[in-house]
């Protein structure tokens, strides 16, 4: 059993790199390069390449998988599969955070968990994989990561816009719109934390925290929708 983060990433991918330097570059944050006497290339150019590859293979996957869907629906599903949070989840599945090369300041600031760093690393990884093994390898990795999400497209689209999905559900089933109430705002001004709840009439559906109001509302909407759907699916006596 290896403890090398790069080995673990290759295990998660299910393939090794013919050129390990490409994998290392994909995980090299600009802050790391900036601190070296002889700066290695960072992952920004690979990110640019990987972004294009991700868009293409996802589009082809959906085109082949769902011949019944029109262009508008295909676009919505593609957006859900490639949105920022989806890329963060893919990066976490592959444990990219553990392999990131970060500058000291970025490391101390929690850079291994920073969503933007994980997004960049995932796209850079795809760019590196494209150069190392070709488009087929990128396609196989993306299909594997997306497969679970494609089992239930309705849930996937709800996750893309949970507030919209919750409002649609409550309007249809209860003829009410949900409301979001901020309970507290704590922490320093540059890094506040919002605590809020989502209400349906007088009923509290969910309560959550977030680094900003938008994030907290999104998380609360997801939890509230899950509560209502569980109640709908529960057997009635």
* Calpha distance 116→91 (Å, rounded): 11
Q: Helices (H) and strands (E) in the chain — how many of each?
A: 13, 3
Q: What is the DSSP letter of 205?
A: E
* Calpha distance 204→224 (Å, rounded): 9
Asked if 232 is an active-site residue, the reply is no
* Calpha distance 91→89 (Å, rounded): 5
| Six token digits for residue 145 | 């990561």
CB atoms within 10 A of CB 65: 14
DSSP code string of 20-43 = HHHHHHHTB-HHHHHTSSSPPP-S
Per annotation, catalytic residue among 123, 132, 139, 217: 123
Asked if 89 is an active-site residue, the reply is no
Only one residue has tokens 């990561």, namely: 145
Sheet containing 203-210: give its strands across. 179-186, 193-200, 203-210
Per annotation, catalytic residue among 10, 42, 47, 51: 51
| Six token digits for residue 144 | 């594997």
Could you give the residue numbers annotated as active site?
Answer: 51, 123
């Amino acid at each position: 059993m290896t403890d090398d983060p790069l080995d673990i990433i290759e295990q998660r991918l299910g393939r090794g790199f013919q050129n390990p330097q490409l994998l290392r570059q994909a995980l090299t944050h600009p802050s790391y390069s900036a601190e070296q006497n002889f700066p290695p290339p960072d992952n920004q150019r690979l990110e640019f390449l990987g972004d294009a590859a991700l868009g293409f293979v996802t589009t082809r996957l959906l085109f082949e998988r769902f011949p019944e869907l029109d262009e508008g629906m295909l676009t919505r599903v593609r957006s859900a599969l490639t949105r920022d949070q989806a890329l963060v989840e893919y990066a976490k599945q592959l444990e990219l955070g553990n392999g990131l090369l970060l500058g000291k300041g970025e490391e101390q600031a929690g850079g291994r968990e920073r969503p933007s760093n994980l997004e960049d690393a995932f796209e850079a990884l795809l760019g590196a994989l494209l150069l190392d093994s070709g488009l087929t390898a990128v396609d196989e990795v993306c299909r594997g990561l997306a497969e679970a999400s494609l089992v239930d497209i309705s849930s996937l689209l709800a996750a893309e816009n949970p507030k919209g999905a919750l409002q649609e559900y409550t309007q249809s089933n209860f003829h009410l719109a949900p409301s979001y109430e901020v309970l507290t705002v704590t922490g320093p001004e540059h890094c506040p934390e919002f605590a809020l709840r989502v209400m349906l009439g007088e009923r509290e559906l969910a309560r959550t925290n977030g680094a900003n109001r938008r994030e907290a509302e999104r998380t609360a909407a997801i939890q509230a929708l899950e509560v209502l759907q569980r109640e709908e699916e529960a057997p009635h006596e």
